[in-house]
Amino acid sequence: MSDAPILQLKNITKTYPGVIANENVSFSIARGEIHALLGENGAGKSTLVKMIYGVVKPDGGEMLFNGEPYAPAKPFEARAKGVGMVFQHFSLFEALSVRDNIALGLSAAEAKKGDLKKRIVEVSTTYGLKVDPDRLVGTLSVGERQRVEIVRCLLTEPKLLIMDEPTSVLTPQEVKVLFETLRRLASEGVSILYISHKLDEIRTLCSRATVLRGGKVVGSCDPRQETARGLAEMMIGQTLSTPTRETGEPGEIRLKVQELFMESDEQFGVDLENITFAVRAGEILGIAGVAGNGQTELMEALIGERRSRHARHIQIDGIDIGHEGPRQRRARGMCFAPEERLGHAAVPGMSLWENAILCSGPGADFARGGFVRHRAATRYADKVVADLNVKTASVRSAARSLSGGNLQKFIMGREILQQPKVLIASQPTWGVDAGAAAAIHRVLLDLAKSGAAVLIISQDLDELFTISTRISVIAGGYLFPSQPTEELTVEKLGLAMGGRVKEIASAKEATHV
């Protein structure tokens, strides 16, 4: 064993049409090191690791693995050399079993070696990653799915393990367990490249950090020696003032949901079970939870894409609206910003002004006598672009040509500038850079201050703690009673997010058996 770094990057460059994803990136990872790759959304982290894993080929530069030239043409080659990767958006197949999923991630020879099922159980017990080889992946929680991915990697006995934003889908307790597993792997000599934009995690876990900004390496440090603020400045390149929440007296109840049950019509969806909550004027209610616990279904029910069984299950200002569709609800002063930007909140191929028409309601009426009001929609879109500082060539640009952050600003602006009485937004800053996120948080706070009731569904606990008046947790389709933000801690929330899930899961299994 030499002391040569396990992986060395020299001047790696990758360009996409109109974008330089990586420019002259150089750094190296030592054996048994947990190395953080830190950067904002769009800093080029994902492209870089895809090159290391052989999904994308670099345009220039050189990589050395174990001191030897390394240029994987395919992920199989990378895996054969000893590079494993756990994806941010899991590369799993819902309709297949855990065992089949793992077999697909191994080469034919590896998959044949011995009894795969037995090996899965062995690895998962050794590292405390409990998985059941026979279950369909679609029935697993997000945390369990991540374990499947990690087990799949470990079966190839990697020398370098790449983790892409692994904690964004986990409860705080699950994060702790994951970190133990990673430390143990590192102590056994496995190097880990840990990609994240969460500074606290990096400071507890990693011994080395490389910071990317705009595709370039802007710094390298020992994160344990740095403050979170210092890291943030390195990552963002400037200091950001986080918006602060002013506590005011909440007003009347505007949005009230009671005893809402709804069966999912998706194959692996979550049924909503007895959802009850209320949001008052001037309040921001945050709903925390791990992805796939009923957030999508709740959003559909609130938008009116699916109607509730009885009108009284959803009320706005005391009026029953559960039976109404999205347009009627908009007419009553509700606005919605769902999580999925392209294809749900916006039509990718349509221009911004056309996308403005989607939310046509009393606050912004773009139809008269059945005709489209082209000019009114254009003016409104122009205003949204100006007010939220959306970077786009013009409102005639297609929605999909905007960056994620700018499109999100446009969508939030489109909804908020209508001065809604009730705003419901899911993951309002997901995949958005820090500057845009701060801007979005500011308008949400302003909206609540002006007397609107705001509901935010988010997986980002930091976000919820920053802007919510009260926070509640959704798990397995159940919603916990909300509590004032001041009385809550991350740990408390985490217990609700994870603990209840297990309770529910075991109860469900018991009834199914």
Using rule CB under 8 A, residue 383 touches another protein: no
Binding segment for another protein among 283-291, 299-307, 313-321, 456-464 (CB under 8 A)?
Answer: 299-307
- What residues between 385 and 424 interact with another protein by CB under 8 A? 397-398, 401
Q: Which is nearer to another protein, 352 or 454 (CB)?
A: 352
255 vs 59: CA distance, rounded Å = 53
Smallest separation (angstroms) from another protein to the CB of 50: 6
Give the one residue of 41, 47, 408, 468 binding another protein; rule: CB under 8 A.
47
Give the one residue of 4, 30, 56, 177 binding another protein; rule: CB under 8 A.
56
For residue 67, the Cα-to-chain-centroid distance in whole angstroms is: 36
Give the one residue of 217, 288, 345, 422 binding another protein; rule: CB under 8 A.
345
Using rule CB under 8 A, residue 354 touches another protein: yes
Give the one residue of 189, 251, 349, 362 binding another protein; rule: CB under 8 A.
349
Confirm if 120 and 131 have CB atoms less than 8 A apart: yes
Strands 191-196 and 160-164: what pairing?
Answer: parallel
* Helix 434-449 with 228-236: angle, nearest 10 deg: 110
Q: Which is nearer to another protein, 9 or 231 (CB)?
A: 9
203 vs 36: CA distance, rounded Å = 9
Smallest separation (angstroms) from another protein to the CB of 489: 35
Using rule CB under 8 A, residue 305 touches another protein: yes
Nearest to 163 by CA among 124, 201, 189, 212: 201
Smallest separation (angstroms) from another protein to the CB of 413: 17
75 vs 310: CA distance, rounded Å = 51
User: Which segments within 55-187 are labelled E, that is strand?
Assistant: 60-65, 68-69, 83-86, 160-164
Q: What is the total residue count of the chain?
A: 513
Smallest separation (angstroms) from another protein to the CB of 20: 7
Q: Which is nearer to another protein, 406 or 482 (CB)?
A: 406
Q: Which is nearer to another protein, 60 or 248 (CB)?
A: 60
Q: Which is nearer to another protein, 79 or 147 (CB)?
A: 79
Q: Please, what's the b/e burial string for 144-161 (b: 16 or more CB within 10 A of its CB; e: otherwise)?
A: bbbbbbbbbbbbbebbbb
Q: Which is nearer to another protein, 133 or 243 (CB)?
A: 133
Give the one residue of 30, 311, 347, 438 binding another protein; rule: CB under 8 A.
347
Q: Which is nearer to another protein, 94 or 132 (CB)?
A: 94
Burial of 68 (0-12, 13-18, 19+ CB in 10 A): exposed
- Residue 93 is encoded by which pair of tokens? 């197949």
Confirm if 457 and 272 have CB atoms less than 8 A apart: no
Binding segment for another protein among 15-23, 29-37, 166-174, 274-282 (CB under 8 A)?
Answer: 15-23
Using rule CB under 8 A, residue 74 touches another protein: yes
Q: Which is nearer to another protein, 200 or 263 (CB)?
A: 263
Give the one residue of 28, 66, 91, 207 binding another protein; rule: CB under 8 A.
91
Q: Which is nearer to another protein, 136 or 504 (CB)?
A: 136
102 vs 111: CA distance, rounded Å = 8
The sign of the torsion formed by the CA atoms of 216, 390, 451, 248 equals: positive
Binding segment for another protein among 20-28, 196-204, 250-258, 476-484 (CB under 8 A)?
Answer: 20-28
Kindly state the number of chain residues that form the binding site for another protein, as judged by CB under 8 A.
77
Using rule CB under 8 A, residue 372 touches another protein: yes
Confirm if 202 and 194 have CB atoms less than 8 A apart: yes
* 166 DSSP assignment: G
For residue 332, the Cα-to-chain-centroid distance in whole angstroms is: 30
Using rule CB under 8 A, residue 54 touches another protein: yes
444 vs 425: CA distance, rounded Å = 10
Computed over its alpha carbons, how large is the radius of gyration of the chain?
A: 24
- Residue 296 is encoded by which pair of tokens? 């999508």
Smallest separation (angstroms) from another protein to the CB of 446: 24
Using rule CB under 8 A, residue 59 touches another protein: yes
The amino acid present at 221, given as its one-letter code, is C
360 vs 21: CA distance, rounded Å = 37
- What residues between 320 and 339 interact with another protein by CB under 8 A? 325-330, 336, 338
CB proximity list for 134: less than 8 A, separation 6 or greater = 97, 98, 99, 117
Q: Which is nearer to another protein, 231 or 262 (CB)?
A: 262
* 455 DSSP assignment: E
230 vs 242: CA distance, rounded Å = 15
- What residues between 92 and 121 interact with another protein by CB under 8 A? 92-96, 100, 103-105, 108, 111
Q: Which is nearer to another protein, 338 or 494 (CB)?
A: 338
Give the one residue of 4, 24, 139, 198 binding another protein; rule: CB under 8 A.
24
Q: Which is nearer to another protein, 15 or 220 (CB)?
A: 15
- What residues between 224 and 283 interact with another protein by CB under 8 A? 265-267
- What residues between 436 and 475 interact with another protein by CB under 8 A? none
